[in-house]
Every structure is written in C-alpha cells, then in structure tokens.
C-alpha cells in the first residue's frame, strides 16, 4: 500500500477536523510548602467509583482529570480549564495541584505514601501489587495522557482504496499499528519539544541509580516509571503483540495487560483488555510531561502539534523491520531524554527532517494549519532555551525547583475562581451550577459552541440548562434568579450521592 498516494486521494482536510481527542491530566496534590499532601481525596468531589471526570491514579494524592471526547482543540482546552477549576476549588485552601511531572518532596518512609483509597478491592489489590513490584516512589510521577482516534470516515476512505486487507477491522488495526511503530521510532521529538522533568525533588531517588546531571526528561528516560528490562513486546502486528503479552502474564512478569507501560498504548475501548476483542480503536500517548508553563499541563499549540504529528506518522514509511524500527526509536528516545536540557539535541537533523515532512504533508493535503506551527518547532530544535525543560531548569536555579513549582501552583489556584468567567460570564448562578455539577460527577454535555448551554444527565434523567434557565424537556424554561433559585430536581442532584456506571480503574 502506498499510504501517501492514498492520503492524497482522500479528503484528509475535512477528516483532520473530525479526529477525536481526550486528555487525562495527572497531578499530585501538594501543600503550599511544596510537600506531598497528607489529606484524603476531597469529599466534595463525590465518589471516585462513579465520577466521570475526576479520579485518583496510583496514590491518594494523585488526581486524574479526564476530559470527554472532543473534536475541537478549543473544546478540549475549555474542558481542561473547567476540570482544573473544579479540582482547585474543591481542594483545601492550603493545597495546590503540583504543576510539574516530578512529584514534590516525598516522605522518607515510602509506606507513608498512601495508595488510593478506593472502594473496589480489586483496584486496591492492583495498586498494592504495583507498590510491591516497582516501589511507591517511582509511581508518583505524573503526566498527560493524550487519547487520539482518526476520523472513522478517513479510515474508511483509505480502506476502500486498497485490496491488501479485505476486513475493515483488520485494516484499521494495521493502520494504528503502523502509526504506533512510527511513534515509538520518533517519540524522541516529543521528548525534546515537550519534556519537562529535568531534576527531581528529595525522596524520589533513594539510591545511586539516578541521573548525575540535569536532563530533558527523567520521566521519559529509563530512570522513570517503566517496566523491567525483561519486558519486550513485538509491535509487528496484533497476533505477535498479544502473544507476547500472554507470555509475560503466564510467566508472572506482568499481572495483566494494563501493567504493560509503554509510551503509546493501543486501545480497543474503555477497558484495556477490550483490545483483544475489538481491535484497535484509538491510541493513548503516555509520554507527555506536564507543561509547567500552562495552567492545565498542556496548551493548544502542543495539542495541534500532536494531531499533525500523528497524521505524519501515517504518512511516513518505515525503514526497518518492525521490531528493529521500534528498538532504534527506544534507544534514541532514552538518549534524548538524558541530554543536557541547555544543549541542542544530537538528533537535530532528524528533527528537521520530521518537521519538514510535517509541513510538506500539510501542504500536500491542504490541512488548515499555520506555518507558525512548523516554524516554531524548527526554531526550538536550534534554540533549546525555548523548550520547557530548559525553562524549568534555568528558572528553578534562581531559587529551587520546589519554590518555582510552588509559586506556579499558587498562581494557578488563585486564578481558579475566575477561570470560568468564559463560561456564562454574566450568569453567576449558572456558573456555580456548572462547577457544582462537575464536582458531584454529574455528566455535563454542552449543547452549543459558546458553552452557554448544557444538559445534566443523572439517574436516567436529563435537565437542560442555559441563560434562559432550566428545563426538563428543553422547551419549557424556568428562570434561575436570586428569587427563583435552582429547581428541586437540580438541587437534589447536587446534594445526592451520585450513582452511575462504574468507572473502571486503569493505571
């Protein structure tokens, strides 16, 4: 298959706008003194067993903010803003959301790191297993997980142009495997452009097996949270991939599929093991450090770059057999992750090739992308001072990384109360209703692009909300005013213990 020719004969520009995206933003709760928080998950955030937006990851202090699926970058960043505001205002006044991937100072005794206090005993047992195998400290790093699905219409158009793979599901899986192999080969570019974990705070490393100098990304190097050196999985195709996972589980090296930690995870649905029955539906990129210079850990320019990068990986040919190709990329990424963050990368020429290819593809397919996207990336390849790793390291040298991160976290928290002014800025009651609904885990669906109308779904009921008021049917509206506050149904929903579909725990 000549993928480039197939893409040229496809309406990629229209489909590019319809790709599906979602973000999971991890982050530790910390004190204003830069210490790990010792409090439990905020009670005002409802039950983690059912909350669609706010969970905890490994530790009780490790929040995970989960956006709904979006097709527009602005919708995605608006949701991140809403979830961050919700979380920040639910936390204790003396607690902040840590803005960098490396955790704040950790306790001397790792047993003082509390595992997430979840209600499902299987979820608790899994975390206990991870703590025993990997230790608690290594799992305290946080980052961005970027979920991405190509527009199904694009995949169907590509499928219809070829005869090599007769089954659509098999074709889609092969397509995502190609993108995954190329991502693993060229992941180092994301580590260079978005890496931001140059140093660690006390308590993360407890022995001499650590970097001896500042690096671009501890989290994305072999010093980060990774499987052991005996974990190898083939990305040649689905049968080889699953056979290797089965082999590792049978040997007891992995307890289950989701214990396989890779920079990109092949997903078949909400549950990790859905891959075995559904084929690949989307990809989960897991190697993106938190951007401390964005209040939400990632910004719109980074999201746009990732979208274009993933399409480019579909465009690019592979130059080695599958497993050799991936192994080359793994070694390259570790080398770049451990480079001095103040220096130009040794792989700058390959980086220029990748960015040039992205731009050439964008022109060939008439994508609605600005030249600034590519110019900024090329400039950053030659100007490491523009990378988050450089900026975090050098600015931390003025005091310390702990003080610098705490200062950023405090400013983010102070702005949280006004962050939702862009949501229904003139209607305070509706803004409060929106925040409280998200806190309680009630499903919110915006019904217009300006985010001034939405619906609340709970217990098989739906209430429509807009600047006109609230409605049970979307036609008959009851105004929300000081004299006429929330209708009984909404008030009851916000006060009740929310119950809905269980959110499966996934590390």
In this structure, what DSSP letter does residue 317 have? Answer: P
Q: Are 276 and 268 in contact (CB under 8 A)?
A: yes
**3-state helix/strand/coil string of 113-124:** CCECCCCCHHHH
Mind listing the pLDDT tens digit for each residue in 131-176?
A: 999 999 999 999 999 999 999 999 999 999 999 999 999 999 999 9
User: Following DSSP, what letter does each residue of 306-330 receive, concatenated?
Assistant: HHHHHHHHHHSPP-S-HHHHHHHHH
pLDDT of residue 355: 98
What does pLDDT average to over the chain? 91
Distance of CA 83 to the CA centre of its chain: 13
pTM: 0.95
pLDDT (mean) for 410-437: 75
pLDDT of residue 193: 98
pLDDT of residue 59: 98
Mind listing the pLDDT tens digit for each residue in 172-206?
A: 999 999 999 999 999 999 999 999 999 999 999 99
Q: Work out the angle at residue 367's Cα, subtended by the Cα atoms of residues 374 and 191, and round it to the nearest 5 degrees.
A: 40
Q: Are 42 and 431 in contact (CB under 8 A)?
A: no
Q: Are 434 and 454 in contact (CB under 8 A)?
A: yes
> What tokens were used for 280?
């690949």
Q: Are 39 and 160 in contact (CB under 8 A)?
A: no
Residues 70, 22: Cα–Cα separation, whole Å: 6
Mind listing the pLDDT tens digit for each residue in 54-69?
A: 999 999 999 999 999 9
Residues 197, 199: Cα–Cα separation, whole Å: 6
pLDDT of residue 498: 42
Our CA dihedral for 288, 289, 295, 298, rounded to 10 degrees, sits at: -20
Q: Name residue, tokens 């501890």.
A: 218
Closest CA to 132 of 250, 255, 26: 255
Quote helix, strand, coil % in the chain, to nearest 5.
45, 15, 40
pLDDT of residue 458: 81
pLDDT of residue 501: 43
Residues 300, 13: Cα–Cα separation, whole Å: 19
Q: Name residue, tokens 């929310």.
A: 498
pLDDT of residue 451: 77
**488 membership: H or E segment, kind and range:** helix 488-495
> What tokens were used for 248?
């590792």
The answer for 424, left when phi > 0, alpha when psi is -120 to 50, beta otherwise, is left
Give the CB-side neighbour count of residue 28, counting CA atoms within 13 A. 28
């Amino acid at each position: 298959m000549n993928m480039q020719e197939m893409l040229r004969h496809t309406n990629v520009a229209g489909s590019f706008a319809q790709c599906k995206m979602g973000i999971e933003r991890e982050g530790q709760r910390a004190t204003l003194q830069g210490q790990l928080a010792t409090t439990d998950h905020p009670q005002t955030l409802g039950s983690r067993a059912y909350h669609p937006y706010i969970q905890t990851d490994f530790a009780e202090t490790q929040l995970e903010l989960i956006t709904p699926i979006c097709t527009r970058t602005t919708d995605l960043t608006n949701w991140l803003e809403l979830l961050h505001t919700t979380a920040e205002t639910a936390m204790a006044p003396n607690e902040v959301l840590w803005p960098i991937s490396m955790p704040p100072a950790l306790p001397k005794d790792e047993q003082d790191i509390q595992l997430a206090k979840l209600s499902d005993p299987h979820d608790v047992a899994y975390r206990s297993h991870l703590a025993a195998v990997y230790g608690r400290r290594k799992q305290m790093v946080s980052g961005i997980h970027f979920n991405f699905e190509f527009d199904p219409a694009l995949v169907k158009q590509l499928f219809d142009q070829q005869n090599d793979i007769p089954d659509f599901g098999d074709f889609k899986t092969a397509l995502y495997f190609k993108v995954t192999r190329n991502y693993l080969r060229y992941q180092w570019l994301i580590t260079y452009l978005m890496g931001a974990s140059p140093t660690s705070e006390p308590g993360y490393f407890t022995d001499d097996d650590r970097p001896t100098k500042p690096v671009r990304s501890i989290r994305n190097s072999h010093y980060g949270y990774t499987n052991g050196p005996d974990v190898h999985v083939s990305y040649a195709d689905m049968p080889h991939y699953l056979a290797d996972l089965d082999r590792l589980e049978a040997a007891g090296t992995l307890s289950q599929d989701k214990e396989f930690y890779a920079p990109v995870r092949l997903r078949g649905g909400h549950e990790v093991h859905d891959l075995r029955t559904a084929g690949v539906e989307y990809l989960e990129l897991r190697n993106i450090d938190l951007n401390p210079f964005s209040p939400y850990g990632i910004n719109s320019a980074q999201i746009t770059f990732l979208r274009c990068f993933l399409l480019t990986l579909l465009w690019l040919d592979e130059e080695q057999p599958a497993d050799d190709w991936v192994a080359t990329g793994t070694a390259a990424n570790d080398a770049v992750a451990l480079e001095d963050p103040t220096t130009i990368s040794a792989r700058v020429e390959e980086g220029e090739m990748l960015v040039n290819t992205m731009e050439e593809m964008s022109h060939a397919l008439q994508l609605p992308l600005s030249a600034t996207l590519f110019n900024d990336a090329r400039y950053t390849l030659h100007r490491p001072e523009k990378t988050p790793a450089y900026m975090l390291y050098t600015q931390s040298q003025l005091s310390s990384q702990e003080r610098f991160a705490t200062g950023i976290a405090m400013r983010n928290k102070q702005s949280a109360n006004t962050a939702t002014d862009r949501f229904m800025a003139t209607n305070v009651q509706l803004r409060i209703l929106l925040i409280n609904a998200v806190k309680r885990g009630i499903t919110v669906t915006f019904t217009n692009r300006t985010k001034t109308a939405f619906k609340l779904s709970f217990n098989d009921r739906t209430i429509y909300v807009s600047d006109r008021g609230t409605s049970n049917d979307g036609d008959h509206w009851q105004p929300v005013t000081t004299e006429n506050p929330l209708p009984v149904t909404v008030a009851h929903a916000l006060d009740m213990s929310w119950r809905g579909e269980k959110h499966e725990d996934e590390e």
